[in-house]
Amino acid sequence: MPRTIHLALHPYGVGGPGQHGLWKDPSVAKNASIDINYYIKQAQAAEHALFDALFVVDSQFINATYPSHYLNRLEPLTLLSAVATHTRHIGLVGTASSTYNSPFNLARRFASLDHISGGRAGWNVVTSFDTGTSRNYGLDEHLDYTTRYGRALEFVKVARGLWDSYEDDAFPADVERDIFLDPTKLHALDHEGEHFKVAGPLNLSRSPQGQPVIFQAGVSEEGRDLAAQVAEGIYAPGGSLQQAQDYYADIKKRTASYGRDPEHIKIFIHGGPIVAATDEAALRREREIFEEDNDFKGNLALLGRSFGAYDFSAHDLDAPFPDVAHLAEKGGRTGASKLIERAKAENLTLRQVADSVSEFRRSPFVGAPGTVADTIEKWFDAGTFDGINLAFRNNADLELFVDGVVPILQKRGLFRTEYAADTLRGNLGLPVPANRNTREPSLADD
């Protein structure tokens, strides 16, 4: 079977990181981030275009400097459960922290979404780099990198064990024999590990896709290793074509090194396409968007988020970049460390570092529909992604992509013309996990 592209939609609401002016757009409702009808309409539009999934991000710490969408938004699993009742095919992927949740509770919530949606749930596993989250959970300090990723690996293993609590035929519901449950097909987990002690079993059976699909966004060495061990979908950092190729090859190689089939991990890069009638109009619009969002105060706050929501405004903007290396270890370590190294090597001021983080960078996916389709095909053929996680500023931009680019990709055989399955796994081409507890029929089956 020829490879085809997977597409996911990442709704922005009133504006995520770096989108300081989006909430001012007259086409964007000021309450979009808390309006369930906004998400339902986004999901239905993406489903009409045969997208694989709707992806919802999350965090559990804010201050007044955070992006507009982060200040006032719905909890992902509640949101996606509502969307599930208004859609039939599109996958529903929610972000949830393995650092600030318990395995039993979260496994039950995702299993519930999986049942509500008929097998379309996905879990984006994050370890939380917002260090202030710890104080919302009664902890004085955020866990360090090694602990967070060790906990995440064990957390996913526990969740998967709980999702296998019931064998698929555990409920004969036989009135004549007075047997609702075959007790031999219910299994406690009895897990005792470094981070968790969970007895189980979970009080919910497996869904049509067996288990929710595990997603992860691994950038650091620890993150990439976690993804290679447990992820079935990855949200990749993107970057240049070469950087995307290198990341793609690295993850596939690591996946194989853990004895897994590299085809069973789908890598999605971020894409913010800008489509217009002509290439010139699209390039002009891209620059306009940058100017709409280019706010130094917001950029400085965004820089601080990589260092645990640190307030850089207390420093002299034109003095050398301050020594904040100690804040990187428990925050966004990979990106923050690169910023520190560059600042030292080039003797940059705080102002220069803040400007560099948000400087104008052209997206590869900008132009007329044919141009954008050509670039997507080029990147796909070059081995940079299995799918694209698409983000659009407003519904009109989404429609331009759906009406202009998708038909071209379909005509070239690069994107589906109908859904292959009713489950997220089925549409991603992922196998249904075997239940670890399945065994020979019991006496109750006689």
* DSSP states of 264-300: GSEEEEEE--EE-SSHHHHHHHHHHHHHHH--HHHHH
Are 376 and 342 contained in the same domain? no
Whole-angstrom distance, CA of residue 264 vs CA of residue 252: 9
Residue 183 DSSP one-character state = G
Residue 166 DSSP one-character state = B
Tell me which amino acid residue 246 is: D
In a domain, 98, yes or no: yes
Residues placed in the known binding site for FMN: 58, 95, 149, 220
Are 308 and 221 contained in the same domain? no
Are 121 and 229 contained in the same domain? yes
Please state, in angstroms and as integers, the Cα–Cα distance from residue 275 to each residue in 245, 306, 355, 422, following that order: 24, 31, 27, 30
Are 53 and 99 contained in the same domain? yes
In a domain, 307, yes or no: yes
Are 272 and 318 contained in the same domain? no
Dihedral sign of CA atoms 417, 421, 424, 430 in order: negative
Alpha helices (H) in 365-436, listed in sequence order = 369-381, 395-404, 406-411, 424-428
In a domain, 285, yes or no: no
Residue 24, helix vs strand vs coil? helix
Dihedral sign of CA atoms 157, 159, 162, 167 in order: negative
What crossing angle do the helices spanning 241-257 and 369-381 adopt, rounded to 10°?
Answer: 40
Tell me which amino acid residue 257 is: S
Identify the domain boundary among 311, 340, 357: 357
In a domain, 438, yes or no: no
Determine the structural domain holding residue 311 and report its residue range: 295-357
Tokens coding 37 = 């009808």
Are 220 and 326 contained in the same domain? no
Are 208 and 273 contained in the same domain? yes
Identify the domain boundary among 304, 331, 357: 357
In a domain, 433, yes or no: no
Are 166 and 299 contained in the same domain? no
Are 266 and 324 contained in the same domain? no
Question: Could you read off the pLDDT tens digit of each residue along the chain, which spans 446 residues?
Answer: 689 999 999 999 999 998 999 999 999 999 999 999 999 999 999 999 999 999 999 999 999 999 999 999 999 999 999 999 999 999 999 999 999 999 999 999 999 999 999 999 999 999 987 888 999 999 988 888 889 999 999 999 999 999 999 999 999 999 999 999 999 999 999 999 999 999 999 999 999 999 999 999 878 888 899 999 999 999 998 889 999 999 999 999 999 999 999 999 999 999 999 999 999 999 999 999 999 999 999 999 989 888 878 899 999 999 999 988 887 766 666 778 888 999 999 999 999 999 988 888 899 999 999 999 999 999 999 999 999 999 999 999 999 999 999 999 999 999 999 999 999 999 999 999 999 998 554 434 33
Tell me which amino acid residue 139 is: L
CA-closest candidate to residue 338, choices 219, 161, 176: 219
**C-alpha angle with apex 361: 357 to 366, nearest 5 degrees?**
145
Residues placed in the known binding site: 58, 95, 149, 220
CA-closest candidate to residue 33, choices 69, 84, 65: 69
Tokens coding 165 = 């609590």
Please state, in angstroms and as integers, the Cα–Cα distance from residue 422 to each residue in 264, 269, 365, 405, following that order: 18, 24, 30, 24
In a domain, 90, yes or no: yes
In a domain, 78, yes or no: yes
- Total number of domains in the chain: 2
In a domain, 422, yes or no: yes
CATH of the domain at 131: 3.20.20.30
Are 210 and 183 contained in the same domain? yes
Our measurement of the distance from residue 413's CA atom to the centroid of its chain's CA atoms, rounded to an integer in Å, reads: 26
pLDDT of 446 reads 37
Are 254 and 314 contained in the same domain? no
Are 140 and 158 contained in the same domain? yes
Our measurement of the distance from residue 391's CA atom to the centroid of its chain's CA atoms, rounded to an integer in Å, reads: 12
